[in-house]
Amino acid sequence: MSGIPTSDVPVDGGKVIVDARVVITQPAQGTFKAFTAICPHAGCEVTDIVQNVIYCPCHGSTFDASTGARIAGPTPTGLTPLSVTVSGGTISVR
């Protein structure tokens, strides 16, 4: 997946790409991370990224936006990290 403008991903927040089932975060200015957007607990799609925390709406699991690691909730594991490349103000995820 490619072609996501860096300006679409806020610092301390992120953007869920629904069609690709990917969440892209910017935990610090100019640092971009990507993870699968599917919660390992029950397969729900994560929806919100606020103050560097990714939220799953189904059962309240939360994940670290820098690492994808589980913070709290019933999920047994974190989100799967994906490879990110930034070039010319555009984000690509593999």
Summarize pLDDT for 33-72 with one digit per residue, the tens.
999 999 999 999 999 999 999 999 999 999 999 999 999 9
Q: Domain boundaries in the chain? A: 2-87
State the pTM of this model.
0.95
Domain 2-87 in CATH: superfamily? Answer: Rieske [2Fe-2S] iron-sulphur domain (2.102.10.10)
pLDDT confidence band for 1 (50 / 70 / 90): confident
Q: How confident is the model at residue 23 (pLDDT cuts 50, 70, 90)?
A: very high
Which residue in this structure is represented by tokens 């690509």?
92
**Amino acid of residue 30:** G
> What per-residue confidence (pLDDT) applies to 9?
98
pLDDT at 2: 77
* Beta strand 48-50 pairing with 90-93: unpaired
Tokens 């990714």: give the residue.
Answer: 54
Amino acid at 61: S
Burial of 6 (C-beta count, 10 Å sphere; 0-12/13-18/19+) = middle
Q: What is the mean pLDDT of residues 7-29?
A: 97
DSSP string across 72-89: ESS-SS-PPEE-EEEETT
